[in-house]
Amino acid sequence: MLVALVLNTRKDESEFEVEYDPPHTIELIKHGIEAAGHEYVFIEADETVLDNLQKIRPDLVFNRSEGLQGESRESHVPAILEMLGIPYVGANVLTTAVCLNKGWTKKILSYHGIRTPQFHIVSSIEEVDTLKFEYPVILKPNEEGSSVGINEDNVVHNPAQLKAKLKDMLGEYIQSILIEQFIEGREFSVGTLGNSDGSLEVLPIVEIDFSTMPPEIAGVFGQRAKTILDDLSHYICPAITDNKTKKQLETISLDVCKYLEVPDFARIDFRMDKKGHIYFLEINPLPGMDFDPEEQDISFFPFMAMKADYIYDELVRRLIESAKGRYGISA
């Protein structure tokens, strides 16, 4: 079976390319595809992607495309693949579009009874005068992933700080901003991995250990914590929790994937307050797959998978088998 890896190659370390895949990750996925007995081809997810897909016509696409621009950029390649009738690994057009929009994701999950911090979506400073907030709150770009635009100074404690930070972010990101109640407490990340029968396996849970980070991080797992200060010693996997908390995190994660129709793989982030209440923060239906121990460049999803005793090749094979099962492919 011809499997095409379609993604955006990371060419620099800028904030806006942090979601793209580096050459090391590309080689790991290539090795996994070939180790599973498939023929491999690479297609860059740029403006030539449609022509190349039409010429190559792969049997399956291992989709990791983040898109080039626009509020629904992660849906561009899935839309093209559906138009061409090519099966692919990962979430569909609607799911990728919704999940990139933090506000819409939270609205859908709130409807289904998933607890999430109080929030508002604003596109101007004037709007905040009509809204009520329980401080502290944290500001996030509404249509970005990988903690783009998020650092410890995004947490504000009064209206003056809120307006100042909001002004900066509206000018830099040219999109609506999520203003969310800041939940002080523990932070967890949960990974799900698809099976060929459509069910999902929950991988060992990661906890971010803020006690090992500098005090100025202030409990915010943003870009600085994920890049400049990134170190495996900051992450506990499996997370040390009581059985009740573990079961709650697993059950909520499976419910989130069900309500948002996320197959194959995902990473879901949560906060737990001092009372033990668990709050959904966000989901990534296209989780990072970097795994370079020498450079300490390890994404949570493969990190969780390794803790579940999967080698990288097996992780890639499982993702392909999950997609094949969904499409009824027997090859």
Q: What is the pLDDT of residue 195?
A: 97
**Amino acid code (one letter) for 213:** M
Q: What is the CATH number of domain 186-327?
A: 3.30.470.20
Domain 118-181: which CATH number of 3.30.1490.20, 3.40.1350.10, 3.55.30.10, 3.40.50.1820: 3.30.1490.20
Please list the pLDDT of the chain residue by residue as tens digits (331 residues).
999 999 999 987 776 688 899 999 999 999 999 999 999 999 999 999 999 999 999 999 999 999 999 889 999 999 999 999 999 999 999 999 999 999 999 999 999 999 999 999 999 999 999 898 889 999 999 988 766 778 888 999 999 999 999 999 999 888 899 999 999 999 999 999 999 999 999 999 999 998 887 777 767 776 666 666 667 788 999 999 999 999 999 999 999 999 999 999 999 999 999 999 999 999 999 999 999 988 878 899 999 999 999 999 999 999 999 999 999 998 7
Angle at 147 between CA 142 and CA 148, to 5 degrees: 70
Q: What is the pLDDT of residue 226?
A: 67
Q: CA–CA distance from 132 to each of 135, 136, 276 (Å)? A: 10, 12, 25
Q: What is the pLDDT of residue 49?
A: 98
Tokens of 304: 């969780």
Positive or negative CA dihedral for 17, 23, 27, 28? negative
Positive or negative CA dihedral for 172, 176, 182, 188? negative
- Secondary structure of residue 132 in the 3-state scheme: coil
DSSP labels, 75-119 = GHHHHHHHHHT--EES--HHHHHHHH-HHHHHHHHHHTT-----E
3-state secondary structure 189-233: EEEEEECCCCCEEECCCEEECHHHCCHHHCCCCCHHHHCCCCCHH
Q: What is the pLDDT of residue 331?
A: 75
Question: For 260, which DSSP code?
Answer: H
Q: What is the pLDDT of residue 312?
A: 98
User: Domain 2-99 classified CATH 3.40.50.20?
Assistant: yes
Q: What is the pLDDT of residue 109?
A: 98
- pTM for the structure as a whole: 0.93
Domain coordinates in residue numbering, the chain: 2-99, 118-181, 186-327
Torsion of CA 293, 299, 303, 304, to 10 degrees: 180
Q: With contact defined as beta carbons under 8 Å apart, do 73 and 66 qualify?
A: yes
